[in-house]
Amino acid sequence: MVTVRERTPADDAVLVRLFEEMQAHYQRPCPALDSVLQDLAALPPGVTILVAEVDTVVGFAVFSPIYPGPGLSSGLFLKELFVSSRFRHSGVGTALMRAVAAFALRHGHKRVDWTADRYKPDLHAYYQGLGALKQEDKVFFRLMDDALDTLANSDRE
């Protein structure tokens, strides 16, 4: 049976291992584990992490509130949904998504937004099977590294 609840600091050691697995899954380097633990201890205000347990933590969802949305309502932006490879296709992801939706409603939010890898039709079908509507009219942008620094330090006009 899957249990989903909000993360506590006691979860962080196991959560860091899941972050490490996630980074390997996306073929990205993982920062030093001590650094990740420090970041978890100092999460920015508004960041919520839900963890899914099956005897131990096997998945997580990370999200933050966003405003404004349609009708000037608030919503959540789901930054990450990850399930350990051993527990995929076992209902853990769906339990996490259900918990995110319930969290949104409990806190008065009107929607949940997220991104998905463009070339993973099975993932798109999964999300659509949950009732999500694929948003073809939006384009995702990212400002990071040198471009972030350049813009932040450019002369103001």
Give the DSSP per-residue string, 33-94.
HHHHHHHHHTPPTT-EEEEEEESEEEEEEEEEEE---GGG--EEEEEEEEE-GGGTTTTHHH
- pLDDT at site 157: 57
Every domain of the chain and the residues it spans: 3-152
Nearest one of 64, 51, 66, 63 to 16, comparing CA atoms: 51
- pLDDT at site 156: 63
Amino acid at 48: T
Mean pLDDT over residues 89-109, rounded? 97
Q: Please, are residues 114 and 81 in contact by the beta-carbon 8 Å criterion?
A: yes
Nearest one of 49, 54, 128 to 91, comparing CA atoms: 54
Domain 3-152 has CATH 3.30.360.10: no
What's the chain's Rg over C-alpha atoms? 17
Cis peptide before 65 (omega within 30 of 0): no
Q: How confident is the model at residue 70 (pLDDT cuts 50, 70, 90)?
A: confident
Specify the higher pLDDT residue, 60 or 142.
Answer: 60
